Structure 1
Amino acid sequence: MSLITPHSTLLAQANVNEEITARLLSFIQDRDAFSPNTWRQLMSVMRLCYRWANDHQRIFFPLSAEDLRDYLQHLQQAGRASSTIATHAALIAMLHRNAGLVPPNLDPLVFRAMKKINRSAVVSGERSGQALPFRLEDLQQIDACWQQSSRLIEQRNLAFLHVAYSTLLRVSEVARLRVRDISRAEDGRIILDVGWTKTVVQTGGLVKALSSLSSERLTDWLINSGLVHEPDAFLFCRVHRSNRVHLQFEKPLTLPALEAIFQNAWHSIASSRNVKANKKRYLSWSGHSSRVGAAQDLAKQGYSVAQIMQEGTWKKPETLMRYIRHVEAQQGAMVDLMEKRVFRQPRD
């Protein structure tokens, strides 16, 4: 049975009955229940798994435990990271659950396969990648470098970095802020009505406050760009090479454009730094750098995990701990004990 959706061959070669097909069609129609990134990942995994099934004469859907084990081992042999393999397994399970089927991941066969993959990855020295942190001192340096600039693109980039660092929002969440989302506190500082994030989707929304300096930099950008008079425009728009702002109302800045902001900052103040390659990448700041750096700065200043999780809207402590593990290690209980403990030297 072959069913082609408008955006992907999601159910190609599916060996299912009409009831399961209807559930999958309903799942596709309700894709707005998931973030665009999650849906893109699901489509990518389904395409890869479908090709593998075709090449190896396997049934793509439903996927048996034996076939899933073999597919995950194929990914390992192809050099995929253990975290990527785990993502494939989770998304395949997601598709089966939404079809009303028992995910093959629950079979002990698949459980053991993932244990072997993870153990092999750890023993071989694989470490999870992490974006280079964009710290407060970096923000201060780029602020000193760009604050007097007459170029609107540098004024925009500086304001963007202030907002990204101060709010710990993901860059896609900063990009979709609009001018109308701004209000002012009694002391003049800016309040941002974020609305929703990847992990906070509720009618009450999410509100973020900026510091006095960050409020000043964002205000400068709004006035000099003319966006202050365009409440429906996105807060951060394209800047033409003629030093004029191209107003954007329909779509925010793309991810490559957002990544370019961090790369421009890197080349302005940090390009001479000696950075060791992390999983063959992360050689300069990227879109996640401000979120990582802000979390590390908060941890270094002694703020609790609960406080940092609230600031960054993390739902799971283990996600945050991946960002601050080096800081936490330096502030561990045993290090504190050993540094404070006074050992008496034995007398002769």
Structure 2
Amino acid sequence: MTEITVANPLLQPFSTNDDISARLAAFVRDREAFSSNTWRQLLSVMRICWRWAEENRRSFLPMTPEDLRDYLLHLQSAGRASSTIATHAALISMLHRNAGLVPPNVSPDVFRVVKKINRAAVIAGERTGQAVPFCRQDLKKLDAAWQGSPRLQQLRDLAFMHIAYSTLLRLSELSRLRVRDISRAADGRIILDVAWTKTIVQSGGIVKALSRQSSQRLTEWLIAAGLSGEPDAMIFCPVHRANCVTKPRLAPMSTPCLEEIFLRARNAVGVVARSRTNKGRYAGWSGHSARVGAAQDMARKGFSVAQIMQEGTWTRTETVMRYIRMVEAHKGAMIGLMEDDE
């Protein structure tokens, strides 16, 4: 038996045989095949699960169906959401597959306990949280508040909110945009060359065209910040309190810094935070709000689910339907039947 640590000094070592060790080493070597968020989640689940296995004298790798069943029930008793428990189960399965082992999830015992956990959660009133939508009307109010501001931070934040809403890109995808990714159509409107997204990883990438107003707001920010002649600079970079862009400008802004833009936007237009939240989350606008709001606005305008999925690079219809379910509620067949009679 050999002892290994999987690519993270925070992760506790666990024992395994040489064949599994070699396969895990290859898995770690190819970790760029997965998004950084997936890898972080995997390491977090491994830490939590390994500690539970050590404390309860259970097997971590390979994990038996009985042990996985007990582990998932432990997460439920600890108050974890059913979606979080499902993520743990999926990542444990992923680890076993890449170690060349049969995932314990294939057992009917595990399938039943997952179904049991989900059913209990729904009956108890658990609901999947959803970001507060940032819609077109919100963008208009924000534009009126920040347009032509002498403060660089507000010009940057306004351009950011325009791009976030117009492109439906995720925070990580917005943070990677550089000045060299900008080109212009014949009428002057901006086209963004997005190298890759969470769900589209291919050499051609995707392109996102901006409206005239969004193109103007982005142009105003780039000129005011002096970024137009710096192709390697990030489009959205930090602004110093002295009202100048900080240097160097080559590193993406962090997720917390981008999240703060939504907070400032909410304060600027006077949106009141929700009194009822989902486990303390989604009281106000957050990093996903522009995607949700844009999807809902497209649904209100009658665009098809397929069109909305294409704009947001979603791969699962269920995700989009969850975002637009409140908009679509009054488009059902029964509502049509009742209101035709009325």
Instruction: Mark yes or no: TM-score above 0.5.
Output: yes
Distance 2:71 2:295 in 1: 36
Would the aligned equivalents of 1:130 and 1:282 in 2 still touch at CA under 8 Å?
yes
Displacement of 1:226 after TM fit?
0.2
Match of 2:8 in 1: 7
CA contact (8 A) 2:68 2:104 kept: yes
Cα deviation per residue 1:25-81 (whole Å; 9 max; x = unaligned)? 000011001000000000100000011111111111111101100110000000000
**How far apart are the structure 2 equivalents of 1:11 and 1:97?**
20
Take 1:249 and 1:51, find their aligned partners in 2: how far apart are those partners? 41
- What's the CA shift string for 1:167-213, capped at 9, x where partnerless? 00001101100000000011110000001000000111100000000
Deviates more, 1:258-267 or 1:277-286: 277-286
Would you say 1:52 and 2:55 are equivalent positions?
no
Q: Is the 8 A contact 1:8 1:43 kept in 2?
A: no
Contact 1:233 / 1:249 at 8 angstroms: preserved in 2?
yes
The answer to whether the 8 Å contact 1:2/1:11 transfers is: no
Range 318-327 or range 124-133, more displaced: 318-327
Conserved? CA contact 1:238–1:248, under 8 Å: no
Q: Quick check: 1:99 aligned with 2:99?
A: yes
Report the AA paired with residue 242 of structure 2: S
- Match of 1:279? 279
- Mapping of residues 1-348 of structure 1, within 5 Å: 1-8=2-9, 12-14=13-15, 16-272=16-272, 275-342=275-342
The offset of 1:329, in angstroms, is 1.4
SS at the partner of 1:2? strand
Q: Which moved more, 1:118-127 or 1:267-276?
A: 267-276
Q: After TM superposition, give the deviation of residue 11 of structure 1 in Å.
A: 7.5
Q: Which runs of 4+ in 1 moved over 6 A?
A: none
**TM-score normalized by structure 1?**
0.95
CA positional deviation for 1:275: 4.3
Gaps of 5+ in 2: none
Q: Is the contact made by 1:143 and 1:158 (CA closer than 8 Å) also made in structure 2?
A: yes
State whether residues 237 and 245 of structure 1, in contact with CA within 8 Å, keep that contact through their aligned partners in structure 2: yes
Q: Give me the whole-angstrom Cα distance separating, in 2, the residues matched to 1:218 and 1:68.
A: 50
Counterpart code for 1:67 = D
1:196 to 1:138, Cα distance in 2 relative to 1, 3 A: same
Matched residue type, 2:117: I
Cα RMSD (Å): 1.4
- Give 1:17 shift: 2.6
Amino acid in the other structure paired with 2:3: S
* Structure 1 pair 28–336 and aligned structure 2 pair: CA distance change class (3 A): same
Q: Which amino acid aligns with 1:260?
A: E
Compute the displacement of 1:12 (Å): 2.7
Matched positions, count: 341
DSSP-derived class of the 2:208 partner: strand
For residues 227 and 60 of structure 1, what CA distance do their matches in structure 2 show?
51
TM superposition shift of 1:249? 4.4
Segment drifting more, 267-276 vs 141-150: 267-276
Structure 2: how far apart are the matches of 1:51 and 1:296? Answer: 42
Q: Partner amino acid for 2:331?
A: Q
Q: 1:11·1:61 contact (CA, 8 Å) conserved in 2?
A: no
| Structure 2 counterpart of 1:345 | none
Q: Give me the TM-score of the superposition, normalised by structure 2.
A: 0.97
Counterpart code for 2:257: A
SS at 2:228 equivalent: helix
Q: Deviation per CA, 1:118-169: give whole Å up to 9, x if none.
A: 0000000100001100001001100100002100000000000000000000
Distance 1:10 1:250 in 2: 31
Q: Deviations over 1:61-110 (max 9, x none)?
A: 11110110011000000000000000000000011111111110110010
**Separation of aligned partners in 2, 1:325 and 1:267:** 27
Matched AA of 1:13: F
- Separation of aligned partners in 2, 1:68 and 1:58: 9
